């Protein structure tokens, strides 16, 4: 039998599972690195996905607690797209991906895990970034510790 080590998961397993909206609560804390917040603008912030599909998986999130794009003001919506653009450029600087999957799931039926607070997922992609592990073992291999990824991305976002 082969063993896959993921010791950082124990922090989550033992952590207090608070109720409420993480996208509302986390930006209010002064713990951006701990909460994986990479960047803040006037209406939105960028946070890394703690359980990524791929290395560098992040989310663009409005500060306003809203379930859809139609609840954002024109100013917040423009900022949302500008922050998305900045995120693409920052990921390119840090990791040189060959492409991106970018999407917004609105509504539970569309796959929204946090359906009450709209957010955009951005997953950098490289040729060959999926392997037999995903197909046969339903395991995804992330090649870098999440805090190392955070440090690289934080620098790229905030130059």
Catalytic positions, written as ranges: 119
Would you call 122 exposed, middle or buried from its count of C-beta atoms within 10 A (0-12, 13-18, 19+)? buried
- End-to-end Cα separation, the chain, in angstroms: 45
Pairwise CA distance, residues 57 & 97, whole Å: 11
- Nearest Cα neighbor of 47 from 83, 75, 79, 101 is 83
Would you call 159 exposed, middle or buried from its count of C-beta atoms within 10 A (0-12, 13-18, 19+)? exposed
């Amino acid at each position: 039998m082969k063993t896959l080590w993921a010791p950082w998961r124990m922090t989550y397993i033992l952590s207090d599972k608070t109720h409420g909206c993480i996208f509302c609560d986390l930006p209010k804390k002064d713990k951006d690195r701990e909460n994986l917040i990479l960047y803040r603008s006037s209406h939105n912030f960028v946070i890394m996905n703690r359980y990524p599909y791929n290395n560098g998986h992040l989310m663009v999130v409005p500060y306003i607690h809203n379930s859809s794009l139609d609840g954002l003001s024109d100013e917040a919506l423009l900022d949302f797209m500008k922050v998305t653009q900045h995120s693409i450029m920052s990921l390119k600087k840090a990791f040189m991906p060959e492409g991106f999957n970018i999407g917004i799931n609105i509504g539970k039926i569309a796959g929204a895990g946090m359906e009450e607070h709209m957010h955009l997922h951005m997953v950098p992609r490289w040729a060959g970034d999926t392997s037999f592990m995903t197909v046969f073992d339903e395991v995804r291999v992330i090649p870098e510790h999440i805090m190392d990824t955070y440090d690289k991305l934080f620098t790229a976002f905030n130059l």
